[in-house]
Amino acid sequence: MNNVKTAMLIAAMTALFMGLGFLVGGPRGMLVAFAVAAAMNLFGYWNADKMVLRMHHAVEVDVRTAPEYYRIVEGLAGRAGLPMPRVYVIQEDQPNAFATGRNPENAAVAATTGLLERMTAEEVAGVMAHELAHVQNRDTLTMTVTATLAGAISMLGNFAFFFSGNRENNNPLGVVGVLLGVIVAPLAAAVVQMAISRTREYSADRRGAEICGNPRWLASALAKLAQSAGRTVNYDAERNPATAHMFIVNPLSGQRMDNLFSTHPDTQNRIDALVAMGGEADTRPVPAERYERYEAAPADAAGGPWSRGLDRQRAAADEAPRRGPWG
């Protein structure tokens, strides 16, 4: 069923892309848009995860460079019966996280330094269990490819004005068609993008609570995320808004209600749903000895015990040149 939903959503985004091509360049523009969309879908299937990670300047870590974080993900992946994903850290003060990859065998999870430094080990486990739930539910392919197509639709809409004076574009609506393309198509893409995220976040919350063993860990993390994310500007996310729906909470701006134009469900509604799970989840720790060891570690002035394991990774990121999303 997830594969069917993925195909339907990608088809809907492709149709939007073709419709915008028709409004810009008539039948010929629609054919060109179809060819471009087909190429982007193929390219996105194999490379969209790498593009998203580059957009946010994510740096891969391992058990040596971020031992606590890596072992938490390792323990959760084992509990969920998933292959070990690649693990990334994003140098970003805003607490947030996302997962990407075309399937569980090629998945990656990424967390910001803001999240790792502000959360307890249990809260980090709750957040990463949520991201692994997206991997297990195979949401990551849909969300990553949709981000690529949504960005392309917005970009094509911005270029539409350049073609508005071309009388040979066979667009029956003329300038009105171009205006519709500029305004309506990106808006429709955003609505599809938002619908994808909102319908899947609740499912990932529930499965994430089952994976980590305690719904209150994720509920506590979401409460902190709701307080912090909206007050911190994530500049990479602002430059790449088409990826906003991939994060566990909206990296662009907070939303106070579930409505059509919200990229995520209201965080309080998600917290209430997790608290309502109560004793439904398997509350066995994941695994207990790891959390006991991390919890006993003293927190330094910069944040929790996570900052010790991130010092080497932060220094490497500072030395590396900043690159655009295309490398």
pLDDT, tens digit (0-9, with 9 covering 90-100), for 259-287: 444 567 888 889 999 998 865 544 444 44
| pLDDT, tens only, 172-196 | 555 665 666 666 666 666 666 565 6
Highest mean pLDDT of the ranges 72-81, 234-243, 253-262, 317-326: 72-81
**56 a known binding residue?**
no
Residue 163 CA to residue 80 CA, distance in Å, equals 51
Catalytic residue numbers, as ranges? 131
pLDDT band of residue 161 (cuts 50, 70, 90) is low
Q: Tell me the pLDDT of the chain averaged across its residues.
A: 75
**130 a known binding residue?**
yes
Residue 112 has φ and ψ, to the nearest 5°, of -80, 155
Structure tokens at 277: 């799970």
pLDDT band of residue 321 (cuts 50, 70, 90) is very low
| Better-predicted residue by pLDDT, 274 or 253 | 274
Percent of the chain with pLDDT over 90: 33
Q: Is the pLDDT of residue 155 over 80?
A: no
Contacts of 155-164 with C-beta under 8 Å, sequence gap 24+, read 156/17, 156/20, 156/21, 156/24, 156/33, 156/181, 156/185, 157/20, 157/181, 157/182, 157/183, 157/185, 157/186, 158/182, 159/24, 160/20, 160/23, 160/24, 163/24, 163/25, 163/29
| pLDDT, tens only, 9-19 | 777 777 777 87
- For residue 109, what is the DSSP state? E
Kindly report which listed range (85-94, 116-125, 181-190, 226-235) carries the lowest average pLDDT score.
181-190
The residues pairing with 108 across neighbouring beta strands, listed in sequence order, are 86, 100
Residue 220 has φ and ψ, to the nearest 5°, of -65, -40
